[in-house]
Each structure stands twice: as structure tokens, then as C-alpha cells.
Amino acid sequence: MGIIRSSFSFLMGTVCGVYIAQNYNVPNIKKLMCEGLSTAKDIEQTHRKPKNRDDD
């Protein structure tokens, strides 16, 4: 009985997550994160200071 009681919240969260993912339009977090990182890299490249030749 102890293992069922200790994992009850985990099981209920999993069941609710599966239900929500199947019945609602949930965005893909991994895809959003990758797009955000690529946008940040593009912004960094466009706004980066040019390198000085004197520093070499």
C-alpha cells in the first residue's frame, strides 16, 4: 500500500497530462525552445561588435 500512496500524485499527473495532450492543442515546447535559441543566435550575430585588428 505504501508504493501506491507515495506514487499517487505522480500517476494522477501523468494521467492528466496524457489526457490534456490528446484532447487539446498543446504547443511543442522543444520546438519553441529551438526556435527561440536560433532567434537569439541571429540577434547576437547581427548586434555583435566587430573585432579589432589591434587586439591580435
Q: Hey, where are the domains in the chain?
A: 2-48
**Residue pLDDT, tens place only, 3-50:** 878 899 999 999 999 999 899 988 889 999 999 999 999 999 998 877
Question: Phi and psi (nearest 5°) for 42?
Answer: -65, -45
User: Rounded to whole angstroms, how far apart are CA atoms 26 and 19?
Assistant: 11
Strand (E) or helix (H) holding 6: helix 2-6
Q: What pLDDT does residue 33 have?
A: 95
Q: What pLDDT does residue 50 have?
A: 78
Amino acid making up residue 1 = M
Q: What pLDDT does residue 49 have?
A: 79
